[in-house]
Each structure stands twice: as structure tokens, then as C-alpha cells.
Structure 1
């Protein structure tokens, strides 16, 4: 996974630049009756399956859930036809993928999507066409600011607030220094998250450097800055390879007595192995019940289904599984024909759904923006493996 994410910034920037061009389609389809009685229930997703950064586990997990549901008889004799599209890390392809699913395939909803581009490019299009998306992995700000998209995950911005809160309030850290890698239009959202942390805790960063190059080959300048500034802890929103590069540079410069506050994007088995001895003092807020604990009861059904279908155990797979699971529960409550309109109505009126894999109930609802997952489980990198740093969820309001 580390090598796959090295181009994440370039792709995100491209999506942001073309957001307006691709997202504001005034040629709205009249497919409100999509998925009407007489055929399968079509459900779609837009994913990064090829290109510089890929996230195949989310849609694969959703498909596994839907396949199991179909094998058990579906709903009222109908089965779910899950259409998975690949945006290839390209804004134009992301736009066309959504239109193919919504207009040609006449999907009733989007479920389990995992893409750097989908929300930026397609959120307004979904809103115009009155189709809703249960995002498997929300990444960019548009995923959390659209009435048509409701991610099942926490996302990097609340993640930022949570890891800082855990550091200052639970670990009692002081002199926390901050670094940001800015991709596309994410800067204001990250800074707003830091401001929220500061307002709620009364704490502030020793400094915030938002000029860190994404994909930098050498993090020595940042390490020296942290060392000379007397930082006792360091927060950074780095992706896997960059976080590894920072840790290795710190080890080389003898900066080994600081605590590192990272985001969920580094919570992988591959990261734990690559960090090695340099990963001492790393803390991360896991967005779902920690999957690296094989004894975690909340993940029992998810783990069994993933292993049965040879799907890698990752947070992305957890998000896709939950999105499909929530969607099926909503479907079961619909009386009459299952159409795009009836599904949209049901999602907007749904009651919150509890699941032990998350710390807060999921709900779509009628709001202008969505983000019902506001809990994380702190984990710590210890002796080359992730371990729980808490015996319960951390909630962020």
C-alpha cells in the first residue's frame, strides 16, 4: 500500500481543479423511477481501482456483502446488481463513471465508493439527480459537506482534531508541533480542524508548518525544525510513505524522544512493518474497531467474510462492508417498490443504525452535510505492531 499512495497528492489536486467543470451538470436525468419493480436493484459505486493510488478493498467488501445477501434470497425476490466502476484517478473518467451508473444503469443509490475524486467531481451531480451516496471512504472536504453524500468513516479532518485531542488531553502532551501536507483544496479543512481542537481544549500548537511537500524525498528539514524548536510531540497528516520518511529522518537526526500523532491513513500492517524501530511513540485514531486485533469481537463477522472472499483486512474494507450493511438494513424497511425515489426517501428519514464496529450510530438524514461517525479507537505502534492504546472509543463532539 505504501508505494500505491505516493501519487495521492497529484491526483487530489487534479480532482480539485476540475471539480467545477465536472460536478455542475445541469443536464439532470429524469431517472427518479430507476430500479422500479420488474428487475434487479441496481446499486453503483465510483472507485480508484487503477492509477496512482488505488482503493479496491472498499468496493470488494461491499460486493461481498451484497453477494451474501443475494445468496440468502435478496429482498422480495429481487437481488442487488452491484455495478463497480473505475475512475482511474482521472476526473473526466470519474464524471463519466457516475453518469454511466446513474443514467445508463439507473442505479437507486451509490454505495461503498472509495475514490480521491468522486465527491469533488460528482457530489453536485448526485444532488441534482436526487441520488444519494453512502461513501465507503470519504477523503476530500466535499464528502463531508454535501447533502447527497454521507461517509461511513470519520475522515482526515475530524481525524486531525481527534489525534490532537488524544495527544493533549489523554497523553498530556505539551509543546506539540504541527506539519501539514496540503493536497488540492484540503488546506482550510485541516486548519479548521486544528482551530476546533484549540478552541475546545485551550491548547495550541507550538508552530504549524503547512509548507511540507507531499511526497518529499527528504524530511530532514522538518526534523531539524522540530528538534531546534524543542518539540515534545509532532502532529502530521502524512500518508504512509511520507510518515515513514519522517520517522527515518528523525531516527537519523537523533530525534527519538518525541511522540508522533498521525492519522488513520497510516494505520496499516505494512506501515507497522516498515516503521521498525523508528516507529516508537506513534499514536493513531482508528476509525473503526481495530482490525489488527484478531480477538476484537466487533470485527468477527466482517473478518470471516473478508477472509472467505480473500479481501485484505484494511480500514477501507471495513468502510465498504459497513456501507453495504447499512444500506441493506435501510432497504428492508422500504414498503412497496424499491426505486431511486423510495431509497432516497428512506435514507433521508432513516433512524440511526448501531454497529459494534463503530463508536457512533450511522445515519444519513436530511442535513446539508453529513458526518455521523465521530468516534475513534486510539492505537499505538509498539514493537513493530499495532496495539490498542485505550480500552474504549474516544468520542469527538
Structure 2
């Protein structure tokens, strides 16, 4: 009987497509494929979507994961009702929204929060209300110095000091300028760490704070370059960082000064946007794994985003953070009796998360029960812009931030990381 080569080739193609599709399927909940139909579990989040920059990528990813979870049995049959509010980068609005979600909507947890202002506005309120926050992206100092607030990201200070460590170890930097946002407990807090390390090593360091909404990129860059530093370290949102780099290239500074950044600039679109003039000259901290890593959980994050998110949702480091925060919440809630999921039981379950492993993290995440502050993610990588893409240039390394001393002591005493 003659072999139908055309038909065989088509069959092989279909088989490969089917296998690839099965491999790429998002994994969430019990993977039953059956929608959750029970009483919803209310989880809230506050993010800064409208303002100087859209900072809502974390909640977009958390929503995608919860949608995937709800399509696969939810929390033992109960779906998650995920309510996301926009604080518009306004502390007063952030406080009003927290009261709405906690008091009116009766949220049992806050998950995936990402904001420049809401930590400071709401940290005390969350503690008084007995609700825990598994944040996606903490920014101001209050996010990392609050009893009930535990971000999955490293934070701007730890991330910028990771970049500082790289500048010292790999670039032999002797002088540095730190540029941060003129936002309370963000820019000064982050740059102060760089200044302290530089002072301890006898190096030259300077801080420049800028208003993310109204700053003149060219004048800021010229001010930073005036002292002829070896490196300039940025700690700003992506939407502010890119114009600064454009201004720097227009002045020819991309060839004479190394520019580094916190993880806020680690986005797949950035290398192509800033162009070849920055190849090898723009180095960023990665609070998580390579965005295109082929490791299982990173691939699952991408699959979740593709199947349950929007095409326009960024696949960036903050989306990784939101995905992780949702998975941590899922892990905690899955330990509970589905008929007894309250704010009290949910909080108790999150407090018991001690060794949450994901290949997206450099080290396992934990809540730190009994601790007055949380910064479990403090081991990071670095990547450089090259050929329109990011190239990872370092292994996981602990941040040299001296402010982490108490965290390291706790981790050692608790046998963590």
C-alpha cells in the first residue's frame, strides 16, 4: 500500500501543534477545566493606573491568574472575586479605596497591590483592620516596613543597590549619581542607600530627585553628568526612564557614562525602544528571573498571560510580581476549609507561608510571621541591553543594602534562605 507522504506530513504537523499546545497550557488550581461556581471569595487590590505612568501591570497579571484559577475549580470550588481600584497616584484616593475594599466589600486579603502612594496611606489601616497584603510591587519604604504588608518584589532601594553592587564589582565605579523620584520615602530612601555604600568605600556620590510628572529630561541628565560620574543609577518608572535615556544619547553621554537602573526598566520593549546606541551601556537589575526564561513557572506565567490576560498587558517584571502574589494567595487559601475562609483564617494562612518556591524567584519567598517588616525578595540578577534584547549578565546575588541587616538575622534564626 503506497504511503501518503502529504497526509503523513500534515499528521505530523498537527501532532506537533497539539503537543506544543498541551505543553503551553496554563496551569492553575486543580487544572480540572471546570469553572468554580461556589460563593465568591473577595480579594482586593489597589494600583496606580492613571497618573505619571501606568503602574498597574501587577494587578493585570494577578487578575489573569485568578481568572485561570476560577476556570479550574477556584479555591476548592469557590471562585475569587478580584476587585482592583485605581488610586491615581493620590494618597487620599488610596485611603478611600482601601476603606471601600476592606470595610464595604469585605475583602479577606489584598493581593497584587502596586502603587507609589498607597502603602504610606494605608499601612496603619490594614493593621487595624486585621487584613494582610501580599503586594505585587512595593515602592515606598512603608511597603517594606509594615507588619501586615509583604511585597513579592525586592523594592526600588534593594533593586538600585543591587545595581550599585554590580557597578562596584564589575564596572569598578569610583563615582556615581543616583536619580530618583521626588516622592516621599521613595527617591531619597533609595538613593540614601547608594550614598551610604559610596561613603563607606570612600567614593563620590550625588543624589538628584525629579518629579516624574513634570521633569525636563534634558536638564536632569545634564545636571547628573556635570560631575562626570562613572555611572548613573536610575530608580524611576519605565515611562520616565526611557525619555531620560533618549536625552542622554542626544548629549552623547551613552558612550562616556554607564547607565544602570532598578528593575522598573526591565521590560521586553525597552531595548528595542532605546536602540543600538545603548548596547552594552544600559544595565538593569532584575528582581525576578529572565522574562523569557524557559523554566517551568516562568513559562506558566507567560501561558497564563497569553490565555487569560490581554495582548496589551505587558510581560514585564511587575507582571511577574503580580502572578507570584496571586499564586502565594492561592497556596495559602488552599490550606483552608472552603466553608471557613474569612479575613482571620486567610491572614493566618498567609502568615504560615514560609518556603514558597518558584523559578521566577532567586530564593524562596516567605511571609515572616511575627516580624514588623517584610523584604523576603532581596536576592537579584542583572541584565544588559544588547541587540534589541536583554542579556542576563549575572547570577543571583544578595543585595548589599545595609538596611537588610535585620532581615538577614531573622532569616538565619528561622532557617530561611
TM-score, L = length of structure 2: 0.78
Q: Secondary structure at the match of 2:359?
A: coil
Aligned residue among 318, 321, 324 for 1:316: 318
| CA shift for structure 1 position 372 | 0.4
- The match for 2:341 is 338
> Structure 1 pair 278/223, CA: closer, same or farther in 2 (3 Å)?
farther
| CA shift for structure 1 position 297 | 4.8
**Is the contact made by 1:49 and 1:56 (CA closer than 8 Å) also made in structure 2?**
yes
| CA shift for structure 1 position 196 | 5.3
- The match for 1:301 is 300
Q: 2:90, 2:195 → 1: CA distance?
A: 32
Q: Secondary structure at the match of 1:269?
A: coil
Alignment of 1:258-277 (within 5 A): 258-277=257-276
Alignment of 1:170-189 (within 5 A): 170-189=170-189
| CA shift for structure 1 position 148 | 1.1
**Is the contact made by 2:109 and 2:343 (CA closer than 8 Å) also made in structure 1?**
yes
**Is the contact made by 1:277 and 1:384 (CA closer than 8 Å) also made in structure 2?**
yes
Unaligned runs of at least 5 residues, structure 1: 1-37
| CA shift for structure 1 position 279 | 1.9
Aligned residue among 379, 384, 389 for 1:375: 379
- The match for 1:233 is 231
54-63 or 257-266: which moved more? Answer: 54-63
| CA shift for structure 1 position 294 | 5.7
**Does residue 160 of structure 2 align to residue 160 of structure 1?**
yes
> Structure 1 pair 355/371, CA: closer, same or farther in 2 (3 Å)?
same
Aligned residue among 347, 350, 354 for 1:347: 350
| CA shift for structure 1 position 224 | 6.5
Deviations 1:245-277 (A, max 9, x none): 443343333331221111111122333223223
TM-score, L = length of structure 1: 0.81
| CA shift for structure 1 position 283 | 0.7
> Structure 1 pair 203/297, CA: closer, same or farther in 2 (3 Å)?
farther
Deviations 1:278-313 (A, max 9, x none): 42411111111121x364554110001101122331
Q: 1:87, 1:212 → 2: CA distance?
A: 21
Aligned residue among 228, 232, 250 for 1:252: 250
- The match for 1:53 is 53
> Structure 1 pair 112/387, CA: closer, same or farther in 2 (3 Å)?
same
Deviations 1:5-43 (A, max 9, x none): xxxxxxxxxxxxxxxxxxxxxxxxxxxxxxxxx932211
> Structure 1 pair 205/220, CA: closer, same or farther in 2 (3 Å)?
farther
- The match for 1:42 is 42
> Structure 1 pair 257/225, CA: closer, same or farther in 2 (3 Å)?
same
Q: 2:235, 2:101 → 1: CA distance?
A: 33
Q: 1:316, 1:147 → 2: CA distance?
A: 22
**Is the contact made by 1:180 and 1:237 (CA closer than 8 Å) also made in structure 2?**
yes
> Structure 1 pair 105/274, CA: closer, same or farther in 2 (3 Å)?
same
**Does residue 113 of structure 2 align to residue 88 of structure 1?**
no
- The match for 1:366 is 370
> Structure 1 pair 384/133, CA: closer, same or farther in 2 (3 Å)?
same
Deviations 1:362-394 (A, max 9, x none): 11122111110012221101133221112x322
Q: 1:225, 1:118 → 2: CA distance?
A: 30
Unaligned runs of at least 5 residues, structure 2: 1-37, 405-417
**Is the contact made by 2:178 and 2:191 (CA closer than 8 Å) also made in structure 1?**
no
**Is the contact made by 2:183 and 2:211 (CA closer than 8 Å) also made in structure 1?**
no
| CA shift for structure 1 position 64 | 1.9
**Is the contact made by 2:179 and 2:191 (CA closer than 8 Å) also made in structure 1?**
no
Q: 1:250, 1:158 → 2: CA distance?
A: 25
The alignment of Structure 1 onto Structure 2 pairs a total of residues equal to: 355
> Structure 1 pair 166/332, CA: closer, same or farther in 2 (3 Å)?
same
> Structure 1 pair 184/389, CA: closer, same or farther in 2 (3 Å)?
same
Q: 1:315, 1:327 → 2: CA distance?
A: 19
> Structure 1 pair 344/296, CA: closer, same or farther in 2 (3 Å)?
closer
| CA shift for structure 1 position 113 | 1.4
**Is the contact made by 1:53 and 1:89 (CA closer than 8 Å) also made in structure 2?**
no
**Is the contact made by 1:251 and 1:278 (CA closer than 8 Å) also made in structure 2?**
yes
